[in-house]
Structure 1
């Protein structure tokens, strides 16, 4: 392992120019989102306000998960000393750099949702833990040592705060490496990544228990954390693929070729199958055991307004990658990879929708401008922040010790 001189025709100092149609579309997306959220919150219809807050939670969580997946991708490459990904590492770095903003936004959403619109009313409501109250709930009271407001908020701050600090430092070290060369930054990144992966691995399931599973506090699944992690990881890989292909189509990063895309395709394909395995195991075990307090979770999701989405979720997130990416050539084609990655990002939005909506919006559920507008707004915000970050530094980590290996990567 060492630094190399590159004798290639590539321009390693090139920078992405964030302007034109990409910038306009992202700003328009943000505007659409703001309009949808304002209309929803200002509505005199209580259900409309509930739906808006539920969608804010959905997209705030999804946004944070995709950025966290960027940080996880970075750390994984350092710890495994992977060479193939060196040439495209700037993309997950840009995603990781946005994680502090995403985390802060999600913290505001859960904080406001907790105190004003009571998203977490299943465990945070008057009298649920008081034995003398008519609203006393023995099951919720039994979980109150974990499910209480101070504990909930402290865990949110600790988890997202620690992820954000590691993501920020890992990105900073890589940019420092560009200026100084040598192996000092890489060695520090390796050590920090090892620590981060341990923290991330142990805390992400608890983070998803808090943020999403506690929306229905009577129900629990020990597989829920890994199910969420799989969705996060697939969504993160899909986001990296989309940004990479669009940046390449704009004429940048010529050193990244179909071999790198193939590896990303294998990750997308493999972890979509893993997501399905965890989803099916959770569903099958609950159905097979036929314990009423567990089957209620899926009973809710088989109500007429959710049942089509329930099956569409499996079609998009399992069958689509299985049938479209199983072929070697498909993983090497930009058009096919772009299509599948966009499809899976939409599919996992639907996945989170099915996780969050039944527990937050109790009656008169709807699907329309609020859902679509909020999603467009967050896509615009993600695109604006990540592409803006990507434009701040050279697209190639020219002093990365494995850059030569990445340039000659062939499978």
Structure 2
């Protein structure tokens, strides 16, 4: 066997997305449209309409009237928001991972760097979708947007929500949302540009610039990711609050992003790309999934335990809805999330060998992605749909988003060498061992 040389390690690799692969992604998107259409028709025909009455009875007829879009339309709006928040968050993790590696002076991850850069391709279209869905469907998503809710003279006045009016008002909400998404998009583009210029020109100038850009991004992301979780997810349950919720949402995004990175790296390796990626790289990615699945569970348990122990009505209502509310129809999802997001990756990836086997990592990554999509489902549905939830519309929308995301993701991947040929730590990554 020939000895690896520096010249060999720096060989560029370009992804060619075949028409067959694009057709597969298109089929996923089309399947999503078909499933969505079936779900909308069934919902419009009133199948499962008995849940609507249950939801209204549980939360008051006046609340149901205030959010009174047809059930099929409301489910569509909530599903669009749910999936877009999920995919936008996972996309930003790509930029976050790149920035983290730069600031840590990490060398092992250089070979998978382009995967993380490409993940941010959804940020801009996701930003557009988010603003459009908010303007068209905000009353179905956010109770605090209703007319008169903060007006003491209105019959719909809510003193608790009115007390949050300085933060929860539409103009300020839009400003914050644009700011979050603008920051994430700008820094993802900036790091990508520096990376591509490094490929063309070499040298260490771009590497040091990337470290400075990454340090600033990490500071801004630490604040903006938590605040976006408050705005986009927690304010759906407008009476409820948790000081740990920003960390909880980030943990879910983070472990999903790592799973998506690992899954992509494995598929590329099996397709003949990333020639220098070895079992040690997979091992480190597996350790990330293993460790941060435990971290997600730690945050999940800490939030749950503190709320359960204090037993304050304004906090406990969140878990009452999800554990026993609405005739217990969310209870199985509550425990399913624990099983698939903690117990499964923890038990499967416990050994060193499991973290180095592609088949084991593929199974766990797919499970983690599905599990955390389900986690976001549980964050949104009880607060918005009450007992009118379902899965056909929701899965259809998820497939549409997945197909569109994969198209943009692979297009971005194919636009530059999969190997950042002039990165200063490339040889360290090529010869990485654990």
1:118 to 123, 136, 140: 140
Rounded Cα–Cα distance in structure 1 between residues aligned with 2:77 and 2:36: 8
Rounded Cα–Cα distance in structure 1 between residues aligned with 2:218 and 2:346: 28
| Cα displacement (A) at 1:244 | 0.7
1:217 to 195, 215, 238: 238
Query: What is the TM-score when the length of structure 2 is the normalising length?
Result: 0.90
| Cα displacement (A) at 1:393 | 1.0
Rounded Cα–Cα distance in structure 2 between residues aligned with 1:229 and 1:159: 14
Rounded Cα–Cα distance in structure 2 between residues aligned with 1:160 and 1:399: 30
Does the CA contact (< 8 Å) of 2:37 and 2:393 recur in 1?
A: no
Unaligned runs of 5+ in 2: 47-69
Map of 2:298 onto structure 1: 277
Give the total of aligned pairs.
Answer: 402
| Cα displacement (A) at 1:409 | 0.5
| Cα displacement (A) at 1:84 | 0.2
Name the SS for the 1:123 alignment partner: helix
Does the CA contact (< 8 Å) of 1:60 and 1:109 recur in 2?
A: no
TM-align CA RMSD: 1.6
Map of 2:107 onto structure 1: 83
Query: What is the TM-score when the length of structure 1 is the normalising length?
Result: 0.95
Name the SS for the 1:276 alignment partner: helix
Matches within 5 A, 1:97-176: 97-114=121-138, 118-120=140-142, 122-176=143-197
Rounded Cα–Cα distance in structure 1 between residues aligned with 2:35 and 2:385: 17
1:364 to 388, 391, 400: 388
Does the CA contact (< 8 Å) of 2:74 and 2:140 recur in 1?
A: no
Does the CA contact (< 8 Å) of 1:209 and 1:225 recur in 2?
A: yes
Matches within 5 A, 1:40-51: 44=44, 46-51=70-75
Does 1:230 pair with 2:251?
Answer: yes
| Cα displacement (A) at 1:135 | 0.9
Name the SS for the 1:301 alignment partner: helix
| Cα displacement (A) at 1:254 | 0.9
Unaligned runs of 5+ in 1: none
Does the CA contact (< 8 Å) of 1:103 and 1:164 recur in 2?
A: no
1:342 to 366, 370, 375: 366
Map of 1:255 onto structure 2: 276
Rounded Cα–Cα distance in structure 1 between residues aligned with 2:10 and 2:38: 47
Map of 2:30 onto structure 1: 31
1:289-329: per-residue Cα shift (whole Å, max 9, x none)?
11111111001002311000000000000101110111011
